Amino acid sequence: MITFVQLGSIINRVPSIGVLMQFDRAAPDSASVYKARVHAVNQVSTEYFSIIDGYEDVILENFEQSMIDLCEKLTISGIDIGSIREQVNGEPGGFMHHGVVCRTSAFKRLRIPKSGFFHFESVVYPMLSTRGVIEHDVEAYNWIPSPDGATRWIDTPRARINGLRWVNGMPPIDRPIPK
């Protein structure tokens, strides 16, 4: 049904549904994380996958049922991507960051870079969203940003911008963007 892909340390509570694929944490730079995630997802054999993080993030009690419901909505609709709503530090957050479910076969049909300074979500999620997105308005994941996490890496802005540039047919920026 679904594979949860994680790089690095185990999240506080492992999902009790689906399959958990763990990979060694990539070097602390966006290019390494992007390459590791693309490699990992290309090994998924279930119908759906979801990227989960570790560190201090919290999977809420309703996570498993929310993900099952989202997978069912994707199956019925034929849409390739959907998201539950996340919390950020316990406060209401948005969609399309954590708690995103993607159709594996649709991902594998994408023609995306296998490596480079890209942000996985900025490349993959817009490309899978061309036929729509299902937003399952249930908070089931609490993101606790890490003080040394990817959002604070000096190359993350370049990776995010490069992802959006690539999706829009523009060449990537080959020099770092000051943070």
Distance in angstroms (rounded) separating the CA atoms of residues 159 and 8: 20
Distance in angstroms (rounded) separating the CA atoms of residues 113 and 38: 9
Counted domains in the chain: 1
89-137 pLDDT, tens per residue? Answer: 999 999 988 899 999 999 999 999 999 889 899 999 999 999 999 999 9
Residue 175 counted as domain residue:
no
CATH assignment of the domain containing 117: 3.90.550.10
Residue 104 counted as domain residue:
yes
With contact defined as beta carbons under 8 Å apart, do 110 and 22 qualify? no
Alpha-carbon 134 to chain mean position: 15
Residue 132 counted as domain residue:
yes
pLDDT confidence bin for 143, thresholds 50/70/90: confident
Q: What is the pTM of this model?
A: 0.90
Mean pLDDT rounded to a whole number for the chain: 88
- The residue range of the domain holding 68 is 2-167
